[in-house]
Amino acid sequence: MNIPFGPCRHGISVLAFGLDLRIFPRVVSNRLTAGSFHLELPAGEFAAFIFDYDGTLADTMPTHYRAWQTALGEHAGDFPEAMFYELGGVPAAQVVEMLNERHGYALPVDATVARKEKVFLELSSEIAAIEPVVSLAREWHGRKPMAVASGGHRRIVMNTLRALGIGGLFDTVVTSEDYSRGKPHPDPFLEAARRLGVLPERCLVFEDTTTGIQAATAAGMASVLVPALSRLRAPQ
């Protein structure tokens, strides 16, 4: 069944489902259906679509967290799941640097990230596509320029896109190697728009984290907040 929306002061719909979704200007939330959800796009014409990868196109977030817990070893307890989801979209190297600064660790950044990526790849066979978002990308493939803008490393992102059979849907894929400042800075989305040859204000972003939504807003782009599957799975 459809879950009703209620009005909010920004003139956009708020999900009436008990989910704690932060709303930013020009952000559209989602309508859930039984066992899944339906994306409701904002009114107006958009020249291009830009998709986040982790948690938006692919249900990778639980696998990423398991990889982090293994890579951090004895320090894993200082990276709780709630913090992991708050940092969604932040490049892995920045996560290690933050943990070092916050807790006084001396974790080698490159080696820790490499270990985390190795574990993630070993577990990647369990990753599934997030079908409501992928279906939308398939529907618009060839009709509208589309990009992926991710905080992940290119090898990881491209491996999963190929495994899911959706790499060919996108005109360009932007990863952490392609910019200096990750989300919540606008750089990933601005680089995607530049490559597509579309003005930022004519792009629509699909994101599953508030960090990513902040980045889209900073880029001057409208956005759709995709519900985190971890919240949809949680008992009500």
Q: Each residue of 100-128: pLDDT tens digit?
A: 999 999 999 999 999 999 999 899 888 99
36, pLDDT greater than 60: yes
214, pLDDT greater than 70: yes
Which one of 20, 52, 110, 171 is the catalytic residue? 52
* 187 assigned to active site: no
- Dump pLDDT digits (tens) for 196-209: 999 999 999 999 98
Under the banding of pLDDT at 50, 70 and 90, the label for residue 31 is very low
**Predicted model pTM:** 0.74
- Tell me yes or no: is domain 5-59+128-233 CATH 3.40.50.1000: yes
22, pLDDT greater than 60: no
At residue 211's C-alpha, the angle toward residues 216 and 107, to 5°, is 130
pLDDT at 46: 96
- Looking at every residue in the chain, the average pLDDT score rounds to 82
Domain boundaries, the chain: 5-59+128-233, 61-125
